[in-house]
Structures are given as structure tokens and as C-alpha cells.
Amino acid sequence: GNASPLLSGSRSSKTFKPKKNIPEGSHQYELLKHAEATLGSGNLRQAVMLPEGEDLNEWIAVNTVDFFNQINMLYGTITEFCSESSCPVMSAGPRYEYHWADGTNIKKPIKCSAPKYIDYLMTWVQDQLDDETLFPSKIGVPFPKNFLSVAKTILKRLFRVYAHIYHQHFDAVMRLQEEAHLNTSFKHFIFFVQEFSLIDRRELAPLHELIEKLGSKDR
């Protein structure tokens, strides 16, 4: 048989979208460093709380960028298992199926394969993150009035990528020994959206049992 492509280091090059970098030396960069330091303490409930004296929008912005990068990386590890043939629809188990619409280019929801859906989704998120009027990277530039609703839509959509990975590709995640990484990332994500009520409970239904389990271990 052929050598596994995973061993030849092609895995890291299969990341799916370019990483979104927060400019070094900026206040947002400091916030990201703070987030990483508190995460290291292991108490995720505390790590997601708004640091004293900080702006909520800015805290949500920094974390949203970070979750985009994490999910990008996690999905990048399993892209070869997520194909038109393995995943002809974007689903999270048999009861949940997602159709793509972004309200601008595609107004009427379309049924498409999971890789296509995730490509649309991640490209759309990246466009939002790169929009300086929505996610200002310059100090002192205010966030727009609709920032929170945009952030909520982004996070709601990013959740669907976790849901798809958990429901359709968890065996691949286990084989790659990425489950600890996936679980930690998802737990951080869930505690964050719970702390600021950013995703409607109904939207979280596909992973309800997992979310309950993550929460109970932590009380």
C-alpha cells in the first residue's frame, strides 16, 4: 500500500483557509495573549469571561477570529474524509441538515454537499472578518452598531462545522488522535457562547447531549 499522506506532512498544508492574523502590538493582540494565558490555567468558565475594563465587542471580535482559526485547522485535518461522495449533504446526524444562503450572493437556501457548504461558510466568515467596517483592527475605530448580530451569525455558522465533524467524522478524528484537541476547542467555544448568550439554544440542538456532558463535568 501507499504511505499514508498523513505521515508525509501533507496534513498541515491542507489547511483550508489562510489564518486570520490579529496584528501584533495591537490591543486586540494583547487580548488574544490574555485569552491564551487564562486558557492555560485550565478553568474555561473563567477564561471566557470579559476581562475587567475591556470592551465586550472587542473581546467577542478577538475570540471569534480565534475560533475561526481553530475550526479552520480542525476541519483541515479531516478534509480528505469529507467529500462530495461521503457527505453529499451538509448534515449533523440524520435529523439535522443545513442548506446554504448568505443573504447577498445566495438568497434562497441551496442544498449542497458538506465540503461545498463548509467552503461557502468559511469564505463568508473570512469576508466578514476581513471587513474593516465590521471588524476594525485599528485602535479607536468603533465597532458598528450591528456588530453583535453579525458576530452571532458567524458563531452560529461556525457551530455547524463542529456539529458536522462530530456527527459525520468523529471516527476519523479518533484515528488521527485529534479528539482531545477537538473537545477542548469545542468546550471553549460553547462556554464562550453561553457566557454571552450568543447562540440560540435551538441552534445547539445537534450537539445538545455533548454540551450537557461538557457542562456537567465542569461544575
SS (H, E, C) the chain: CCCCCCCCCHHHHCCCCCCCCCCCCCHHHHHHHHHHHHHHCCCHHHHCCCCCCCCHHHHHHHHHHHHHHHHHHHHHHHHHHCCCCCCCCEECCCCCEECECCCCCCCCCECCCHHHHHHHHHHHHHHHHHCCCCCCCCCCCCCCCCHHHHHHHHHHHHHHHHHHHHHHHHHHHHHCCCHHHHHHHHHHHHHHHHHCCCCCHHHHHHHHHHHHHHHHCCC
Q: Which residues contact 24 (CB under 8 A, 6 or more apart)?
A: none
Instruction: Give the per-residue pLDDT at 16.
Output: 58
What angle (nearest 5°) sits at the alpha carbon of residue 20, between those of residues 15 and 22? 145
What is d(CA 116, CA 94) in angstroms, rounded to the nearest whole number?
19
Look at 173 and 217; give whichever has higher pLDDT.
173
Residue 68 scores a pLDDT above 80? yes
Q: What is this structure's pTM?
A: 0.88
Look at 10 and 29; give whichever has higher pLDDT.
29
99 annotated as a binding-site residue: no
Q: What is 27-216's CATH number, 3.40.190.10, 2.60.40.10, 1.20.140.30, 3.90.1150.10?
A: 1.20.140.30
pLDDT-based confidence at residue 215 (cuts at 50, 70, 90): confident
Domain ranges of the chain: 27-216
Calculate the average pLDDT of the chain.
88
164 annotated as a binding-site residue: yes
112 annotated as a binding-site residue: no
167 annotated as a binding-site residue: no
Percent of the chain exceeding pLDDT 70 equals 91
pLDDT digits (tens, 9 = 90+) for 100-158: 998 888 999 999 999 999 999 999 999 999 999 999 988 778 999 999 999 999 999 99
What is d(CA 23, CA 125) in angstroms, rounded to the nearest whole number?
18
